[in-house]
Amino acid sequence: MNHSVQSVLLAEPRGFCAGVDRAIEIVEKALAKFGAPIYVRHEIVHNTYVVNDLKTKGAIFIEALDDVPAGATLVFSAHGVSRAVQQEAAVRGFRVFDATCPLVTKVHVEVANEVEGTMGQLDSGIHLVEDVADVARVAPRQTNKLAVVTQTTLSVDDAAEIAAAIKARFPKVREPKQQDICYATQNRQDAIKLMSAQVDVVIVVGSPTSSNSNRLAELARKLGTPGFMVDSADDLQPEWFGQITRVGLTAGASAPEILVTQVIARLKALGAVSVQSMDGSPETVKFPLPKGLRPWSEDDLVVSESL
Ligand code: SF4
């Protein structure tokens, strides 16, 4: 059978979110300001291309702080680090820039507030539930003072189902005022819901380690459209496409647009004659850089009330 792609529909929004944009900019600005090498704890964001690109620019990715020499500049990745790592970095006297996404920090603060407020301790009494079956099994020591938070990059629908099961089993549970799943995860999943009915196959650009990218491919499949993830254009398999195939293309929050452009070129080589973008408003969320890496005018801004 001849495999032929007919058209490509691009999801809107797709690709980089504000947290990823900021994390990469922190490493690049630190390299520009302090010179290579800059040490980065864990993959700065879960994308192979981004990590390799920063390596060539002088970033060194490490897991254990033992691998960081005295006096070095260290960046914490967009996913955040434990308190133990923060404390160790402070004791060792590194110059630290925290690239944890502010929306991840928001969830960490919720956990700290709830746990301190209800149990008076931070390091125990936390239970991980990954599906409704886990909710039936979980055995907290008490059920009067419980609170729930979620990871920022989950499936919106699965999280709602799990939250409902928690509420049914523990009616007194405290829920966050606003949902923890971030705007970028929500918007990319909403776009897949709109897109999947209009295409025969959904391709998600994203690395296997990227939670939100995996959720996008999974959602397409749940909606009845085959969904595949590619880390780069080389991963595209011609046998995914039938004779006349409309392809939906999106990218997880950590996947750069250059990879989308390369995938489009490959789809054109497989026959695509039209590439269209879905309607949708671009995202405008932007997070400020940490102090010490902002443009001088912002770092040095002095507000005088006497003027
Ligand atoms: Fe932040 Fe959401 Fe992006 Fe994760 S996916 S870095 S939580 S904006």
CATH number for the domain spanning 254: value is 3.40.1010.20
- The reply to whether 139 and 200 lie within a common domain is no
φ, ψ for residue 31, nearest 5 deg: -60, -40
Cα-to-centroid distance, 101 and ligand 1 (Å): 6
Written as six digits, the tokens of 158 are 């699965």
Is 293 within a domain? no
- The reply to whether 196 and 268 lie within a common domain is yes
Residue ranges making up the domain that contains 71? 18-101
Q: Dump pLDDT digits (tens) for 203-253.
A: 999 999 999 999 999 999 999 999 999 999 999 999 999 878 999 999 999
Q: Which of 22, 43, 104 to mutate to test the pocket of ligand 1 (most atoms within 8 A of CB)?
A: 104
Is 289 within a domain? no
- Find out whether the beta carbon of 48 lies less than 6 Å from any atom of ligand 1: no
Cα-to-centroid distance, 305 and ligand 1 (Å): 36
Pick from 186, 188, 138: nearest CA to 162 = 138
Cα-to-centroid distance, 93 and ligand 1 (Å): 28
- The reply to whether 258 and 272 lie within a common domain is yes
Relative orientation angle of helices 102-119 and 18-34, to the nearest 10 degrees: 110
Q: Dump pLDDT digits (tens) for 268-283.
A: 999 999 999 999 878 9
Supply the residue whose CA is at minimum distance from atom 2 of ligand 1.
182
Supply the residue whose CA is at minimum distance from atom 1 of ligand 1.
19
- The reply to whether 73 and 139 lie within a common domain is no
Pick from 262, 201, 188, 192: nearest CA to 231 = 262
Distance of CA 200 to the CA centre of its chain: 26
Is 153 within a domain? yes
Is 290 within a domain? no
Q: Dump pLDDT digits (tens) for 245-259.
A: 999 999 999 999 999
- The reply to whether 60 and 95 lie within a common domain is yes
- Find out whether the beta carbon of 44 lies less than 6 Å from any atom of ligand 1: no
Provide, for the chain, the percentages of residues in helix, strand and coil under a 3-state DSSP scheme, each rounded to the nearest 5. 40, 15, 45
For the whole model, what pTM was predicted?
A: 0.92
Is 297 within a domain? no
Atom of ligand 1 nearest to the CA of 285: 8
Q: What is the spatial distance between Cα 37 and Cα 231, in angstroms, rounded to a whole number?
A: 26
Q: What percent of the chain has pLDDT over 90?
A: 79
Is 128 within a domain? yes
Q: Which of 17, 186, 212 to mutate to test the pocket of ligand 1 (most atoms within 8 A of CB)?
A: 17
- The reply to whether 87 and 120 lie within a common domain is no
Cα-to-centroid distance, 42 and ligand 1 (Å): 16
Is 301 within a domain? no
The total domain count for the chain is 3
> Does residue 114 carry a catalytic annotation?
yes
Q: Is residue 137 predicted with pLDDT exceeding 70? A: yes
